[in-house]
Protein backbone atom coordinates (compact mmCIF):
# COMPACT_ATOMS: atom_id res chain seq x y z
CA UNK A 1 0.00 0.00 0.00
CA UNK A 2 1.31 3.44 -0.89
CA UNK A 3 1.81 6.01 1.86
CA UNK A 4 -0.33 8.49 -0.09
CA UNK A 5 -3.25 7.49 -2.29
CA UNK A 6 -4.72 9.81 -4.91
CA UNK A 7 -7.14 9.02 -7.71
CA UNK A 8 -5.33 9.87 -10.98
CA UNK A 9 -8.57 10.71 -12.78
CA UNK A 10 -8.96 12.22 -15.28
CA UNK A 11 -11.65 14.49 -13.91
CA UNK A 12 -13.60 16.55 -16.41
CA UNK A 13 -15.92 19.34 -15.28
CA UNK A 14 -17.72 22.27 -16.95
CA UNK A 15 -16.50 25.81 -16.37
CA UNK A 16 -17.89 27.26 -13.15
CA UNK A 17 -18.21 23.89 -11.38
CA UNK A 18 -16.92 23.19 -7.88
CA UNK A 19 -14.07 20.71 -8.01
CA UNK A 20 -13.20 18.38 -5.16
CA UNK A 21 -9.83 16.63 -5.09
CA UNK A 22 -8.86 14.21 -2.36
CA UNK A 23 -6.02 12.15 -0.93
CA UNK A 24 -5.73 9.61 1.83
CA UNK A 25 -2.57 8.71 3.67
CA UNK A 26 -1.32 6.15 6.13
CA UNK A 27 1.61 7.78 7.95
CA UNK A 28 0.40 9.57 11.07
CA UNK A 29 3.78 11.36 11.35
CA UNK A 30 2.92 13.68 8.45
CA UNK A 31 2.58 17.25 9.70
CA UNK A 32 2.62 19.44 6.59
CA UNK A 33 0.04 18.94 3.87
CA UNK A 34 0.44 20.63 0.50
CA UNK A 35 -1.24 20.86 -2.85
CA UNK A 36 0.81 21.44 -5.96
CA UNK A 37 -0.38 22.26 -9.45
CA UNK A 38 1.55 21.00 -12.44
CA UNK A 39 0.95 22.12 -15.99
CA UNK A 40 2.06 19.89 -18.83
CA UNK A 41 5.85 19.81 -19.24
CA UNK A 42 6.40 22.16 -16.29
CA UNK A 43 7.63 21.76 -12.76
CA UNK A 44 5.07 21.59 -9.93
CA UNK A 45 4.16 24.85 -8.22
CA UNK A 46 2.94 25.14 -4.66
CA UNK A 47 -0.72 26.06 -4.48
CA UNK A 48 -1.54 25.76 -0.79
CA UNK A 49 -0.24 24.26 2.39
CA UNK A 50 -1.76 23.39 5.77
CA UNK A 51 0.06 22.60 8.97
CA UNK A 52 -1.66 19.85 10.96
CA UNK A 53 -5.47 19.73 10.85
CA UNK A 54 -7.90 22.40 9.75
CA UNK A 55 -9.05 24.46 6.81
CA UNK A 56 -7.32 27.10 4.79
CA UNK A 57 -8.81 29.35 2.15
CA UNK A 58 -7.07 31.32 -0.59
CA UNK A 59 -9.32 32.94 -3.16
CA UNK A 60 -11.16 30.19 -5.04
CA UNK A 61 -9.16 27.44 -3.34
CA UNK A 62 -9.87 25.76 0.00
CA UNK A 63 -7.69 23.09 1.55
CA UNK A 64 -8.93 20.80 4.31
CA UNK A 65 -7.02 18.34 6.48
CA UNK A 66 -8.65 15.75 8.71
CA UNK A 67 -5.84 14.00 10.56
CA UNK A 68 -8.23 11.73 12.46
CA UNK A 69 -9.40 10.24 9.15
CA UNK A 70 -6.04 10.70 7.39
CA UNK A 71 -7.84 12.51 4.59
CA UNK A 72 -7.10 15.78 2.82
CA UNK A 73 -9.09 17.71 0.26
CA UNK A 74 -8.74 20.61 -2.13
CA UNK A 75 -11.82 22.44 -3.34
CA UNK A 76 -11.76 24.75 -6.34
CA UNK A 77 -14.73 27.08 -6.68
CA UNK A 78 -15.86 28.65 -9.95
CA UNK A 79 -13.42 26.51 -11.89
CA UNK A 80 -11.85 28.02 -15.00
CA UNK A 81 -10.31 26.44 -18.12
CA UNK A 82 -6.96 27.80 -16.87
CA UNK A 83 -7.31 25.47 -13.85
CA UNK A 84 -6.84 22.50 -16.20
CA UNK A 85 -3.70 20.83 -14.88
CA UNK A 86 -2.54 17.94 -12.74
CA UNK A 87 -3.02 18.48 -9.00
CA UNK A 88 -0.68 16.66 -6.67
CA UNK A 89 -1.20 16.30 -2.96
CA UNK A 90 1.97 16.13 -0.91
CA UNK A 91 2.81 15.47 2.71
CA UNK A 92 5.90 15.87 4.80
CA UNK A 93 7.33 14.33 7.88
CA UNK A 94 9.90 16.81 9.16
CA UNK A 95 11.75 14.47 11.51
CA UNK A 96 15.21 14.73 9.99
CA UNK A 97 15.03 16.99 6.99
CA UNK A 98 12.02 17.70 4.81
CA UNK A 99 11.07 14.47 3.10
CA UNK A 100 7.97 15.02 0.98
CA UNK A 101 5.76 12.22 -0.31
CA UNK A 102 3.55 13.01 -3.30
CA UNK A 103 0.32 11.49 -4.44
CA UNK A 104 0.00 10.22 -8.01
CA UNK A 105 -1.72 13.44 -9.10
CA UNK A 106 -5.23 13.99 -10.46
CA UNK A 107 -5.57 15.29 -14.01
CA UNK A 108 -8.29 17.95 -14.15
CA UNK A 109 -9.93 19.24 -17.31
CA UNK A 110 -12.22 22.26 -17.09
CA UNK A 111 -14.31 22.63 -20.22
CA UNK A 112 -15.32 26.08 -21.45
CA UNK B 1 9.77 31.37 -13.63
CA UNK B 2 10.63 29.87 -10.23
CA UNK B 3 14.24 31.08 -10.23
CA UNK B 4 15.54 27.50 -10.12
CA UNK B 5 17.53 26.47 -13.17
CA UNK B 6 18.31 22.98 -14.37
CA UNK B 7 20.60 21.81 -17.14
CA UNK B 8 20.40 20.14 -19.51
CA UNK B 9 16.72 20.25 -20.50
CA UNK B 10 16.92 16.98 -22.36
CA UNK B 11 19.38 14.13 -22.23
CA UNK B 12 19.44 10.99 -24.34
CA UNK B 13 21.91 8.30 -23.46
CA UNK B 14 22.42 4.55 -23.62
CA UNK B 15 22.08 1.87 -21.00
CA UNK B 16 25.14 1.45 -18.82
CA UNK B 17 26.21 5.07 -19.20
CA UNK B 18 26.64 7.76 -16.53
CA UNK B 19 25.14 11.25 -16.60
CA UNK B 20 25.24 14.34 -14.41
CA UNK B 21 22.28 16.65 -13.93
CA UNK B 22 22.85 20.15 -12.62
CA UNK B 23 20.68 22.42 -10.53
CA UNK B 24 21.13 26.04 -9.45
CA UNK B 25 18.79 27.01 -6.61
CA UNK B 26 17.05 30.36 -6.17
CA UNK B 27 19.29 33.06 -4.85
CA UNK B 28 19.54 32.74 -1.08
CA UNK B 29 18.05 29.25 -0.83
CA UNK B 30 20.12 26.82 1.19
CA UNK B 31 18.15 23.62 0.61
CA UNK B 32 18.08 21.65 -2.60
CA UNK B 33 15.80 18.68 -3.21
CA UNK B 34 15.90 16.14 -6.05
CA UNK B 35 12.83 14.34 -7.35
CA UNK B 36 12.19 11.75 -10.04
CA UNK B 37 8.89 11.77 -11.93
CA UNK B 38 7.89 8.80 -14.05
CA UNK B 39 4.54 7.65 -15.39
CA UNK B 40 4.38 4.53 -13.25
CA UNK B 41 5.93 5.86 -10.00
CA UNK B 42 4.76 9.45 -9.98
CA UNK B 43 6.85 12.15 -8.30
CA UNK B 44 9.31 10.59 -5.88
CA UNK B 45 11.61 12.32 -3.42
CA UNK B 46 15.21 11.26 -3.88
CA UNK B 47 17.39 13.36 -1.61
CA UNK B 48 17.73 16.73 0.16
CA UNK B 49 20.86 18.77 0.76
CA UNK B 50 21.08 21.69 3.12
CA UNK B 51 24.04 24.07 2.94
CA UNK B 52 26.31 21.39 1.52
CA UNK B 53 25.26 18.54 3.82
CA UNK B 54 22.94 15.64 3.11
CA UNK B 55 19.77 16.30 5.11
CA UNK B 56 17.17 13.70 4.14
CA UNK B 57 17.13 10.65 1.94
CA UNK B 58 14.27 9.03 0.07
CA UNK B 59 14.17 6.04 -2.21
CA UNK B 60 17.37 6.90 -4.00
CA UNK B 61 19.10 4.00 -5.73
CA UNK B 62 22.70 3.18 -4.86
CA UNK B 63 23.58 3.89 -8.51
CA UNK B 64 22.50 7.50 -7.92
CA UNK B 65 24.43 10.05 -5.90
CA UNK B 66 24.22 13.77 -5.34
CA UNK B 67 26.18 16.58 -3.82
CA UNK B 68 25.81 20.27 -3.09
CA UNK B 69 28.76 22.51 -3.68
CA UNK B 70 29.96 25.57 -1.68
CA UNK B 71 28.21 27.90 -4.16
CA UNK B 72 25.03 25.90 -3.32
CA UNK B 73 24.47 24.46 -6.77
CA UNK B 74 23.80 20.74 -6.79
CA UNK B 75 24.50 17.83 -9.08
CA UNK B 76 22.74 14.50 -9.35
CA UNK B 77 24.87 11.71 -10.76
CA UNK B 78 23.18 8.69 -12.30
CA UNK B 79 25.36 5.72 -13.23
CA UNK B 80 24.93 2.28 -14.81
CA UNK B 81 21.78 3.63 -16.39
CA UNK B 82 18.86 1.32 -17.07
CA UNK B 83 15.81 1.77 -19.30
CA UNK B 84 13.71 2.25 -16.17
CA UNK B 85 15.70 5.34 -15.21
CA UNK B 86 14.06 7.24 -18.05
CA UNK B 87 12.08 9.98 -16.33
CA UNK B 88 11.81 13.67 -15.57
CA UNK B 89 14.22 14.75 -12.86
CA UNK B 90 13.25 17.85 -10.92
CA UNK B 91 15.28 19.94 -8.59
CA UNK B 92 13.58 22.18 -6.05
CA UNK B 93 14.95 24.68 -3.57
CA UNK B 94 13.83 26.38 -0.39
CA UNK B 95 15.29 28.80 2.09
CA UNK B 96 15.71 26.12 4.77
CA UNK B 97 13.76 22.94 5.61
CA UNK B 98 10.45 23.97 4.17
CA UNK B 99 7.19 22.95 2.58
CA UNK B 100 7.64 26.03 0.36
CA UNK B 101 9.75 24.48 -2.35
CA UNK B 102 10.30 26.04 -5.74
CA UNK B 103 10.70 23.59 -8.58
CA UNK B 104 12.90 23.94 -11.61
CA UNK B 105 11.76 23.10 -15.14
CA UNK B 106 13.21 19.59 -14.96
CA UNK B 107 15.60 17.50 -17.01
CA UNK B 108 14.05 14.87 -19.22
CA UNK B 109 16.30 11.79 -19.31
CA UNK B 110 15.79 9.15 -21.95
CA UNK B 111 17.79 5.94 -21.69
CA UNK B 112 17.83 3.86 -24.87
Distance CA B109, CA A93 (A): 29
Q: Which of A97, A101, A102 to mutate to test the interface with B (most CBs of B within 10 A)?
A: A97
Residues of chain B with pLDDT > 90, as a percent, come to 89
Q: Kindly indicate the confidence band of residue A96, based on its pLDDT and cuts at 50, 70 and 90.
A: confident
Residues of chain B with pLDDT > 70, as a percent, come to 100
Which residue of chain A comes nearest to B42, CA vs CA?
A104
Mean pLDDT, chain B, rounded, equals 95
| Whether pLDDT at A19 is above 90 | yes
- The separation between CA A23 and the C-alpha centre of its own chain, rounded to angstroms, equals 7
Q: Kindly indicate the confidence band of residue B96, based on its pLDDT and cuts at 50, 70 and 90.
A: confident
Q: Which residues 32-51 on chain A approach chain B with CB closer than 8 angstroms?
A: 32, 34, 42-46, 49
Mean pLDDT, chain A, rounded, equals 93
User: The dihedral of CA B108, A97, A101, B26: what is its sign?
Assistant: negative
User: B101 to chain A: which residues are within 8 Å by CB?
Assistant: 46, 98, 100
| Whether pLDDT at A1 is above 80 | no
First to last CA, chain A: 37
Q: Kindly indicate the confidence band of residue A98, based on its pLDDT and cuts at 50, 70 and 90.
A: confident
Asked if B90 lies within 8 A of A45 by C-beta distance, the reply is no
CA distance A112 to chain B (A): 27
Amino acid sequence: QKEVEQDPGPLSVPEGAIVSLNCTYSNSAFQYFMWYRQYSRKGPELLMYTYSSGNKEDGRFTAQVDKSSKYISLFIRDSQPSDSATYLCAMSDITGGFKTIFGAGTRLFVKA
Amino acid sequence: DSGVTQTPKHLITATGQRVTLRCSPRSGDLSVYWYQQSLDQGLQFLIQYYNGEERAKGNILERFSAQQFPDLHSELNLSSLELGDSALYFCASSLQDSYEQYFGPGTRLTVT
